[in-house]
């Protein structure tokens, strides 16, 4: 047991950072219950690392009442912050906003409060900060979280399964309207750099075109798929696009002027794709953004179980004195890996992933190739084969 006296009753703290994800509360509950069974004291640091900058206001002891009924609740009872970077803490001065390094304050407060360990539940950004704090002497165990599933070092992150389920249901529900109105729909899903949610929900929900950041798309190829379906008398199409998807040679679509802790906010790709399809094919096309609905609500059974296993395992890591590590799912086991594994790069969808191969084999388009099955070799020829009324934009409008 490195650095911890065996059998000693410990005082540990939990914190949740970055965007919320379904299952955060399940981790908090599992970690707390496991620690209590060892006779330990558990505290919650509110709003990510912010709580250690101002512990008088943002530190709470976790009691039985606090965790009652939270297994099924989305969000986090501790609150979270996207701005919680103690190395670049924002302060307002007479001359405007300024960044100051308050990491020493965080370390000092952690020690002054008598904590033995900190369990940090977060994604790449939060765990990156956790690693820097480990180097400054805080004994930390990380728990991987993100609906995007883009953290390396673990097979799957909790929150992902719930996000995929929500997105799949939404795509499923769109089918009836798309079919009844003979429309095309473009649905924007979350996923800044990785297309896991869009790929899995697109395939599970029966999308016709899947656009992910890993495969830059050609808008002509997207339109080609819509027209190919039209020619086959399938008068509706569903396109799903990850928020980080981008056209070949183009850039990701950003929400104007919006940044969160220096991270640009994405949004608008579905609207852009929908306008282009409408313009180029004449097919009535609508867009919608599923947004934060994917992050909210009760976690699926899979996420509850994974979050519970990770939360409990994190406490066992603390008991063994294994710090600077992250608990992770290496199917079928929960193991621990160095924190550095979680932050070295993002886990994007490999282009040879079997889900992509299967999707392509079934005729799903990734917007990077013209349809192999249609008449004519060029997009222009295929477009010409579409009924004139539809090209003029009156085919499906009603």
Binding site for ligand F6P (CB under 6 A): 19, 82, 123, 146-148, 190-192, 243, 260, 265-266, 295
The CA angle 93-99-103, to the nearest 5 degrees, is: 125
- Nearest residue relative to ligand F6P (C-beta): 190
| Percentage helix, strand, coil for the chain under 3-state DSSP, each rounded to 5 | 40, 20, 40
Q: How far is the CB of 308 from ligand F6P (least distance, A)?
A: 21
| Nearest residue (CB) to ligand F6P, 19 versus 86 | 19
**Min separation Cβ 346 and ligand F6P, Å:** 10
Structure tokens at 310: 């990770």
Give the C-alpha separation, 43 to 14, whole Å: 6
CB of 365 to ligand F6P, least distance (A): 23
> How far, in Å, CA of 186 to CA of 363, rounded?
18
**Residue whose CB is less far from ligand F6P, 55 or 191:** 191
Backbone conformation region of residue 149, classed left if phi is above 0, alpha if psi is from -120 to 50, else beta: left
Report whether 326 contacts 143 (CB < 8 A): yes
Q: How far is the CB of 83 from ligand F6P (least distance, A)?
A: 10
Q: At closest approach, how far in Å is the CB of 92 from ligand F6P?
A: 21
Cα distance between residue 373 and residue 385, in whole Å:
14
For ligand F6P, the closer of residues 277 and 343 by Cβ is 343
Spatial separation of the C-alpha atoms in residues 273 and 240, rounded to whole Å = 10
State the Cα–Cα distance between residues 198 and 242, nearest whole angstrom: 6
Q: Which is nearer to ligand F6P, 243 or 284 (CB)?
A: 243
Using the minimum distance from each CB to ligand F6P, give the nearer residue, 181 or 265.
265
Residues with catalytic function: 148
List Cβ neighbours of 175 (8 Å cut-off, separation of 6 or more). 206, 236, 238
Helical H segments across the chain, by residue range = 24-37, 50-53, 55-58, 64-67, 103-112, 124-135, 160-181, 196-205, 219-231, 269-281, 301-319, 339-343, 354-361, 379-384, 388-391
d(CA 6, CA 318): 11
CA distance 27 to 126: 16
Q: Least separation, in Å, of the C-beta of 326 and ligand F6P?
A: 17
Distance CA 288, CA 173 (A): 13
Closer of 40 and 158 to ligand F6P (Cβ): 158
Cβ of residue 189: shortest distance to ligand F6P, in angstroms? 8
- Count other Cβ atoms within 10 Å, centred on residue 275: 13
């Amino acid at each position: 047991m490195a650095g911890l006296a065996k059998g000693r009753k410990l005082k540990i703290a939990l914190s949740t950072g970055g965007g919320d994800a379904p299952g955060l509360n399940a981790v908090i509950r599992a970690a707390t219950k496991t620690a209590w069974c060892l006779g330990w004291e558990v505290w919650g640091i509110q709003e990510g690392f912010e709580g250690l900058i101002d512990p008088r206001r943002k530190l709470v002891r976790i009691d039985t009442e606090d965790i009652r009924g939270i297994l099924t609740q989305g969000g986090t009872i501790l609150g979270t912050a996207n701005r919680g970077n103690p190395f670049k803490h924002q302060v307002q001065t007479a001359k405007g906003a300024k960044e100051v390094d308050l990491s020493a304050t965080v370390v000092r407060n952690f020690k002054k409060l008598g904590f033995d360990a900190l369990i940090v539940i977060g994604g790449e950004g939060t765990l990156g900060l956790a690693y820097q704090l480990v180097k400054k002497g805080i004994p930390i165990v990380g728990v991987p979280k993100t609906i995007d599933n883009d953290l390396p070092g673990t097979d799957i992150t909790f929150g992902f399964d719930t996000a995929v389920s929500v997105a799949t249901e939404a795509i499923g529900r769109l089918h009836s309207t798309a079919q009844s109105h003979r429309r095309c729909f473009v649905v924007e899903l979350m996923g800044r750099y990785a297309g896991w949610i869009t790929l899995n929900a697109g395939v599970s929900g029966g999308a016709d075109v899947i656009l992910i950041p890993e495969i830059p798309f050609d808008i002509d190829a997207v339109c080609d798929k819509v027209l190919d379906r039209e020619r086959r008398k399938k008068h509706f199409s569903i396109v799903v696009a990850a928020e980080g998807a981008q056209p070949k040679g183009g850039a990701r679509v950003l929400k104007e002027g919006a940044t969160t802790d220096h991270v640009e906010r994405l949004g608008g790709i579905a609207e852009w794709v929908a306008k282009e399809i409408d313009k180029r094919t004449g097919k009535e096309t609508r867009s919608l953004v599923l947004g934060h609905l994917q992050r909210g609500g009760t976690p699926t059974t899979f996420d509850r179980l994974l979050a519970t296993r990770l939360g409990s395992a994190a406490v066992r890591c603390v008991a063994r004195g294994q710090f600077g590590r992250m608990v992770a799912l290496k199917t079928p086991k929960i193991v621990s890996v160095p924190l550095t594994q979680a932050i070295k790069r993002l886990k994007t969808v490999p282009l040879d992933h079997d889900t992509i191969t299967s999707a392509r084999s079934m005729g799903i388009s990734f917007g990077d190739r013209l349809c192999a099955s249609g008449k004519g070799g060029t997009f222009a020829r295929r477009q010409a084969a579409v009924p004139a009324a539809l090209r003029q934009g009156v085919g499906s409008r009603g």
